[in-house]
Structure 1
């Protein structure tokens, strides 16, 4: 597993002083979230059921299955690409290559996020060569200095008089359908496909707005290149079965070995669980940070995971590269920049801890599972009652295959 540290504690956002002072109580959440939280039973009453659910090992190994997913999911639905906070201000620009398509995301002067192919309309040169956030009033090709406005218009061509029958209006950047909602940015990767944003559910967006995701701060980013199928990387975030086992020496003792309260929001899945300290009466403690006792985990269709913590939110874009390879773009969001020593210490320790848990435990588990499945030892994979959200997700995915 190769770790590429793309940025730490960087953001295009202006400085804000919130630190740890602003936490969320149950009253800050959406009605839907509160209703789901109220359904969490006491731990001694939360009994997992026995299920009979299997999937063939080939869904993680087959090139044919990989191509089917690419054609029917990743090229027919808009996919989450990044968080709004990466492009927090007008004039923000970032390139993105995680899906194998060179993208260029830009927030124009009116505050609208647009997506383009990262290709100069002269000879196709990349306009932005790295994948770091930038601030710019325009984008200029490094090859021949053709210049484009943030809305994609071609506005400058050196020695334009030497090109016959030429109109700059005909050579704007190749635009992709794009939508921003709930603090995430979705993009259609195929310019020729009918734009399909049906996976952006209003209830999901309401939940993310309640978390204040659109206005959060990017504390850190890290990219993980994994030798594992993207679905194997995603599976741990759809179940609690592994938590006290895989994470026994890290975060496992913080969580109860009980089922989640699961809701399907359109194509998306929300899981809510009480931590080891959870009791129903803790929900009514005035001013109590709800994230200290309750964890929310979302699967944003088809491939993005969002997990809450007391003082930050983890966002993972899990992007397929091949049948046995994937890339994860991890982003840690906080409510603002650390404005005191305590906040700085908590954020730094949290960032180091979560990268270790995800990188050296969850992602490692995906890689060693990929190796084992590749040996041919298993014809199918079996799921238990504490993993029942995984086959639920596959039922949603398989509708389109």
Structure 2
């Protein structure tokens, strides 16, 4: 296994070609010059009902989101012992906490006395223990009961018998994965090792959370995902923002298990750029990862965008957007750069990509189309749906 050289915590580094994994470098070297790019014509479609049918949504929930580990947050959100966050993005109230031992664990956000929520906000926070706001039962970040007020009034109470309900959980490659159903056993071995290698090369597990925003969208989760699987929309939907930065050509695609890595040269890309010593590789090359089933990772020169798309209904998706930087800003120039970048990317994703998903949902819900069709610049969308449908058994 070829791992890139690990980067020490808080080490300042420019992401160069040499800092990437061997697989990432090979994909970048395979990008042709724009005038030699070839676009295939394809014939592909899917029924419009996959975005609107409640029965289809229920089947996805049963066979995908309940059956597989799903991303719940990023390591950067809870980087230190005592850090924790609560979320209900998937329709379950869950606490994710990093214990004193550095291990990340996930629990249902319910006191083991009478079920009261222990944490009522969704912002990252720090605590040495969890205290129920109702009767002040106290729990460690390992889920064990630490204290019960007036314990002598509970006949035969054994604190060891009433820990918080724990969910299976694994931290890998800077992503925290959970199994949503505490009555199932999950196979975390299906998580692709190359993804971990790639994300270690980005230093993703040790990046700084600069900004986070949660979007509640009136759109099917797949419509939210689709723009990040294709370049067809970029020069059109983003014509007034980032579109001019990108060429209207296909990406170099690598399938990493069920995950899709797209490697794209920007508008000014030429292969000789790759040999400039010390050059920030993300100024000329963009990586976009679709991590199965519902995580998106997109690189930029000075930050990485993360999106967890949590389906809540056939026409509703909660998107947890996180902007990660290689270090916290420590001077006014860095703060200005990150702040401007954060405002820009929220406008692009929120005001353009997410808006496109919502207006598509409105149109499809009208019954106007029996199916949707895809072109050669959208080829990874039907590829993704093939993997999704295989998981669903259809």
Question: Which TM class, normalised by the smaller chain length?
Answer: over 0.9
- Distance apart, 1:233 and its partner CA: 0.3
- Distance apart, 1:199 and its partner CA: 4.1
Deviations along 1:337-358, one digit per CA (max 9) or x if unpaired, are: 1122221111011000000000
Q: Show the counterpart of 2:153.
A: 162
Q: Show the counterpart of 1:96.
A: 87
Query: Does the aligned pair in 2 maintain the 1:221–1:331 contact within 8 Å?
Result: yes
Query: Does the aligned pair in 2 maintain the 1:199–1:301 contact within 8 Å?
Result: no
1:175 lines up with 2:144 in the alignment: no
Q: Show the counterpart of 1:150.
A: 141
Q: Show the counterpart of 1:70.
A: 61
- Distance apart, 1:198 and its partner CA: 4.1
Q: Show the counterpart of 1:46.
A: 37
- Distance apart, 1:23 and its partner CA: 1.4
Secondary structure, counterpart of 2:361 in structure 1: helix
1:388 lines up with 2:379 in the alignment: yes
- Distance apart, 1:200 and its partner CA: 1.4
Supply the distance in 1 between the matched residues of 2:269 and 2:365 (Cα, whole angstroms).
Answer: 40
Query: Does the aligned pair in 2 maintain the 1:199–1:268 contact within 8 Å?
Result: no
1:307 lines up with 2:298 in the alignment: yes
Normalised TM-score (structure 2):
0.96
Secondary structure, counterpart of 2:100 in structure 1: coil
Aligned residue among 257, 278, 282 for 2:273: 282
Supply the distance in 2 between the matched residues of 1:332 and 1:54 (Cα, whole angstroms).
Answer: 33
- Distance apart, 1:278 and its partner CA: 0.5
Q: Show the counterpart of 1:203.
A: 194
Query: Does the aligned pair in 1 maintain the 2:10–2:206 contact within 8 Å?
Result: no
- Distance apart, 1:152 and its partner CA: 0.5
Query: Does the aligned pair in 2 maintain the 1:267–1:396 contact within 8 Å?
Result: yes
Q: Show the counterpart of 2:3.
A: none
Supply the distance in 2 between the matched residues of 1:340 and 1:254 (Cα, whole angstroms).
Answer: 28
The aligned runs of 1:246-257 (5 Å cut-off) are 246-257=237-248
Q: Show the counterpart of 2:336.
A: 345
Deviations along 1:247-281, one digit per CA (max 9) or x if unpaired, are: 00000000000001111111111000000010011
Secondary structure, counterpart of 2:149 in structure 1: coil
Query: Does the aligned pair in 2 maintain the 1:103–1:117 contact within 8 Å?
Result: yes
Normalised TM-score (structure 1):
0.94
Supply the distance in 2 between the matched residues of 1:365 and 1:199 (Cα, whole angstroms).
Answer: 32
Query: Does the aligned pair in 1 maintain the 2:82–2:99 contact within 8 Å?
Result: yes
Supply the distance in 2 between the matched residues of 1:93 and 1:179 (Cα, whole angstroms).
Answer: 15
Secondary structure, counterpart of 1:352 in structure 2: helix
Q: Show the counterpart of 1:111.
A: 102
Q: Show the counterpart of 2:16.
A: 25
Deviations along 1:273-309, one digit per CA (max 9) or x if unpaired, are: 0000100111111000000000000001100100000
Supply the distance in 2 between the matched residues of 1:230 and 1:142 (Cα, whole angstroms).
Answer: 34
- Distance apart, 1:197 and its partner CA: 1.9
1:187 lines up with 2:194 in the alignment: no
Name the Cα RMSD after superposition: 1.0
The aligned runs of 1:238-249 (5 Å cut-off) are 238-249=229-240
Unpaired stretches in structure 1, ≥5 consecutive residues? 1-15
1:122 lines up with 2:113 in the alignment: yes
Supply the distance in 2 between the matched residues of 1:104 and 1:180 (Cα, whole angstroms).
Answer: 14
Query: Does the aligned pair in 1 maintain the 2:107–2:143 contact within 8 Å?
Result: yes
Deviations along 1:80-115, one digit per CA (max 9) or x if unpaired, are: 011101111001111111000100111111100000
Query: Does the aligned pair in 2 maintain the 1:17–1:338 contact within 8 Å?
Result: no
Secondary structure, counterpart of 1:287 in structure 2: coil
Query: Does the aligned pair in 2 maintain the 1:87–1:133 contact within 8 Å?
Result: yes
- Distance apart, 1:320 and its partner CA: 0.5
Secondary structure, counterpart of 1:241 in structure 2: coil
